[in-house]
Structure 1
Amino acid sequence: MKYTELKDKSLQELEGMLKDKKVELFKLRMQLKTMQLQDTSQIRKTRKDIARIKTAIAEKRRAG
């Protein structure tokens, strides 16, 4: 996911995506703890996606 894809979305869509990504991160961490996660880089990618979404939300709130 790229920031350019996010800046065109509405604030409500971004907040919904943020909630989904946080749930996904929780599930990935549970899989990691139970030794079921094959690709541990997914956790890092999800964290970065969350940061991008938060940045887009902050930008939207500052703009208007």
Structure 2
Amino acid sequence: MKFIDLKDKEISELKKMLVEKKSELFELKLKLKTMQLNNPSQIAVVRKDIARLNTAISAKKD
């Protein structure tokens, strides 16, 4: 996911995507704790996506 793709979307759509990414992060952390996660770097990717979404939402508010 790139920031360029996000800046054309509406705030409501961005917030919906943010909720989905946060739940995905929760599931990945749960899998990590139960030793079911094969690729731990997925957590970093999802965290960066969440940061991009937060940045896009705050940019839309101004």
What's the TM-score once normalised by structure 1's chain length? Answer: 0.96
Structure 1 unaligned residues grouped into runs of 5+: none
Identical-residue share of aligned pairs (%): 56
Aligned to 2:57: 57
Aligned to 2:8: 8
Residue-pair matches, total: 62
| CA-CA distance at 1:11 after TM superposition | 0.2
Query: Which stretches of structure 1, 4 residues or longer, exceed 3 Å deviation after superposition?
Result: none
Structure 2 unaligned residues grouped into runs of 5+: none
What's the TM-score once normalised by structure 2's chain length? Answer: 0.99
Q: CA RMSD of the aligned region, Å?
A: 0.2
